[in-house]
Structure 1
Amino acid sequence: MNKRTGKVVRLATPLKAWTQRFAFLLLVGAAFGLMLLGKIDTVLIERARTQLADAMAPLLDAASEPVATVNGTLEDMRDLARMREVNAMLRAENQRLLDWRRSAIALAAQNAALRDLMKLAPDAEQRYVTARVVADQGNAFVRSVLVAVGKSAGVDKGQAALTGSGLAGRVVEVGDKISRILLITDINSRIPVAVGAAGDKAILAGDNSPKPSLMYLLPNSSVKVGDRVVTSGNGGLFPPGLPVGEVTEVADGSVRVRPYVDWEHLDYLRLVGYDLPGLIADFIGKPATAR
């Protein structure tokens, strides 16, 4: 028995050495042979590959289970960490909102008391509808957009067109289901505004550029870069206080304003109608016998 085993070992040793020496060539030859076999009989190779994949599928599925479990556990841990961060942020935000709510309640009570004391007329009621911008008619000569609402939705000529940032323009044409908005940058746009903390009165005049200018400022006005521009309410076009923009240039008698509206993302507009009784706009619209 030992002699037979020793004989097998003596025969296997040279074979093993020969295999190790020419292993690379054997692998290259085997690969080349498989390529030739695949070219000769593609159906056979494809069937063998499919059968091998089917045979390995249970093993691969079993092997992937622990990996999927570990990945799921890690993802749950990451989600838990994110949830804790979000929860902390929401708690802080909730506390800030509660503080704001208490301040708002106190200010509302104070405002109501002051209004009652001064017998101040209430603010004008608002009627609004939100519409999608469906066409941009902006070119070298016109700055206007079309929105997909009209008379059927209660839109009237002269209503303010607002975004979440500020005043974008006003309604100048109204159809049954579509309206045209003249933007504040249009050369035909003229809006009475108040500038800065002093409330210097001026007219915001569009000139088809991204930054309209201020006209008719008094020589002794204290306008400076960074001043906030809002509607003044003069002329009855808009109520006072609507945000318009910010002064960015004051030089050589020219004052430029950067509107708050993001013209590149003008997707929706809120068309707001203000019931402003007794103002010039209403007076002009009445016949002479009624004045």
Structure 2
Amino acid sequence: MEYGTSRDDVGIAIRSAFLRKSSKQKFSLFALIFLSIFFLFLEAIDWKIVNQIRSLTKDTIYRGSLMVSYPTKGFSEIISLGNEHINLYEKYNQLKEDNKKLKSDISRNKFLELENSQLRKLIDEKSTSSINDKFARVMLDIQSPYLNSFIINVGGNQSIKNGMAVLHGKNFIGRIVDVNYFSSRVLLVSDLNSKIAVLVEPSGSHAILSGHGEQLPTLEYLSKSLDIKEGDKIYTSGKEGIFSPGIPIGEVKIENKIVKTSLFSDLKQVSFVKIRVEDKTK
């Protein structure tokens, strides 16, 4: 009984609230109902003018929705473009690092190939050299306008002594002038302090090969009676008893009537040398 009473009270309250609405609110409600019925009626009517209005209305709505969606799509495309740019930049940096590493590996491989080639030549020389000859690596290349020398990685520990001849391949390039236990200094023929007794062939003329630093060594104390020509070969003479005779050094090059020597070995390209152990000062 009480349940029925409460339900009636709710209905009465709703009717009372509706009746208390102002005339404007009532009109708005009836207008909405009327418009809803009117649009449903228009949707059911198959008139040409109505269909055209309906199509125009739908097109307007669709175009409006499309225009409204442009900012959202544009913002999404900007974000996507930004992400692609970031990824592209990261890939560029990665490729740059890979390229740098690849160039470093190529350079290292070329260096190893060059060193391997030099070591092969050294092995070939060692197989045909005297059993007493010693081989060494150039540790330091001391070059200046007038002073030229090498520091090599053998010394007293390999029975190296002052005055021994130093060769690059078969060519004479200098002599030992300072010996430590694990290293030695080689005075090159281009050094200002280098004076080597030589023999010029085929004339058989004796001379002194004098170093001039960066300039080509010159032949001094040549006999004027002998005919020296460009291209004549120059060898150690062995006259002073310091070096074995007949070690090739270079060939004659005449410039402005000055007899110079073009060395057979490029002193700037020497990495390994050979020391004639039997050639030593008395």
- When normalised by structure 2's length, the TM-score is 0.53
The change in CA–CA distance for 1:275 and 1:190 in structure 2 (over 3 A counts) is closer
Between the aligned residues of both structures, percent identity stands at 32
The change in CA–CA distance for 1:148 and 1:38 in structure 2 (over 3 A counts) is same
The change in CA–CA distance for 1:263 and 1:41 in structure 2 (over 3 A counts) is closer
* C-alpha distance in structure 1 between counterparts of 2:147 and 2:81, whole Å: 71
Residues 1:135 and 2:140 are matched in the alignment: yes
- Determine which of 168, 183, 192 is the counterpart of 1:163: 168
Aligned to 2:17: none
Aligned to 1:264: 268
Aligned to 1:36: 77
CA contact under 8 A between 1:126 and 1:274: conserved in structure 2? no
CA contact under 8 A between 1:151 and 1:175: conserved in structure 2? yes
The change in CA–CA distance for 1:169 and 1:126 in structure 2 (over 3 A counts) is farther
Cα distance, 1:207 vs. partner? 1.6
* C-alpha distance in structure 2 between counterparts of 1:211 and 1:128, whole Å: 28
- 5 Å-filtered alignment, 1:1-291, equals 36=77, 39=80, 127-164=132-169, 166-249=171-254, 251-252=256-257, 254-274=258-278, 281-282=281-282
- When normalised by structure 1's length, the TM-score is 0.52
* C-alpha distance in structure 2 between counterparts of 1:228 and 1:265, whole Å: 21
- 1:144-174: per-residue Cα shift (whole Å, max 9, x none)? 1100111001211111110015111000000
* C-alpha distance in structure 2 between counterparts of 1:270 and 1:263, whole Å: 14
Higher Rg of the two aligned structures: 2
Gaps of 5+ in 2: 1-72, 88-129
The alignment partner of 2:196 has SS state of: strand
The change in CA–CA distance for 1:181 and 1:194 in structure 2 (over 3 A counts) is same
Aligned length: 167
The change in CA–CA distance for 1:275 and 1:168 in structure 2 (over 3 A counts) is closer
Amino acid at match of 1:221: L
CA contact under 8 A between 1:126 and 1:275: conserved in structure 2? no
The change in CA–CA distance for 1:37 and 1:250 in structure 2 (over 3 A counts) is closer
- Output the aligned Cα RMSD: 2.8
Gaps of 5+ in 1: 1-31, 47-124, 283-291
* C-alpha distance in structure 1 between counterparts of 2:279 and 2:188, whole Å: 22
Amino acid at match of 1:245: G
Q: Which runs of 4+ in 1 moved over 4 A?
A: none
The change in CA–CA distance for 1:131 and 1:229 in structure 2 (over 3 A counts) is same
